[in-house]
A = this chain, B = another copy of it.
Amino acid sequence: MGVSIRDVAKRAGVSIATVSRTFTIPQKVTPLTRKKVIKAAKELDFTISRSASSLKSGRSFRLAFLTGGEIESWYDSNILSGLNSILHDAGYDIALYTVSDISQRKAFFSDMSIKRNADAVLVVSFQIAKDEAEGFKATKIPLLGINTDPMEEFTASIVIDNAKSMKLIIEYLAKLGHKNIAYLCVDPDLENFRWNGKARLNGFFEACRSVSAEIHPTIVYAPKDHNRADSAFSQLACMPNKPTAVVCMNDEYAIPLIFRMQQSGWSIPEDISVVGFDDSTYAQEIGLTTVHQDPKEMGRATARILLKLLSEATITNSVQVEPSFLIVRNTVAQVL
């Protein structure tokens, strides 16, 4: 298997212990020796073997990324990208686990063998049961949650404030005179697994209530598939008193809906105002008024927290709220 630490030690004229040190705790090695070792290593194309160092040190240098969604989604892939941009250089791999229903989730958490092969686990966008999380308390393996209901069982939670963001939307809409506001979202029966759906839905109604008694909120459900725009549009078009604004659970509902409306001759925002959520792909180019959040940056933030957790072994129970804010663009009009 090519060169080993032994070869480098020989060539540099030092012990293997010294070679190991120059790569793991360089400050414990004289600059001169360090230089010799580095030189020898370079000449031999040597790097520390991950498996050997993991085995010996008892750390796997591996993060389990557990998602209830799809890796290729805008959200998950950005989280992953942000995570990797920091973790990769710190020597960590990210192992991707997907669960698509509660039984798979249960299986993941009951099979605690993960603990043997990961230094931390990260739960992305879905909710887990208290007892599932509790299994981790016994170990010192950090359990982090991104975009999950921040339970105290998590070592750290990284979230945005969905409720506050919804309130920002409703306040803005109310200020422009909107009273008849619809909320477009996936039928919760289709998606009781993801977390932020609930958070946003509740946030919407709560915001309507708290902002003004004059607001009449309604709800429109659409399927998750490619008919969602058609479905939403026809429901909206048929409503006895058409709302003046539609708030969408995310941009993925808003963008095709706007398209569909335009295709049917409606003008946005003249005929109806539309608000998205996420500020994801195309939102900026299309001029969508939406709530901005930055999952890539959240991934980076999570990586930093993780690294700290892993080096200091501090058992915190922190909740880090990342920024989210309304971006006003061109899809909302004043009610005349």
Contacts and interface: CB of A to CB of B under 8 A. Distances in A.
A70 B281 CA distance: 14
Contacts of A221: none
A-side interface size class = 35 or more
A71 interface: yes
A58 interface: yes
A47 interface: yes
Contact of A282 (B1, B52, B85, B256): B256
Contact of A55 (B49, B70, B263): B49
Nearest to A260: B285
B72 A116 contact: no
A54 interface: yes
Interface string A250-276: 000001100110110000000000000
Contacts of A47: 111, 113, 116-117
A256 B282 CA distance: 7
A187 to B, nearest CB: 18
B77 A71 contact: yes
A179 B85 CA distance: 46
Which one of A78, A111, A228, A285 has the greatest number of beta carbons of chain B within 10 Å?
Answer: A285
Interface stretch (A88-96, A157-165, A166-174, A302-310): A88-96
Interface in A59-89: 60, 62, 70-74, 76-78, 80-81, 84-85, 88
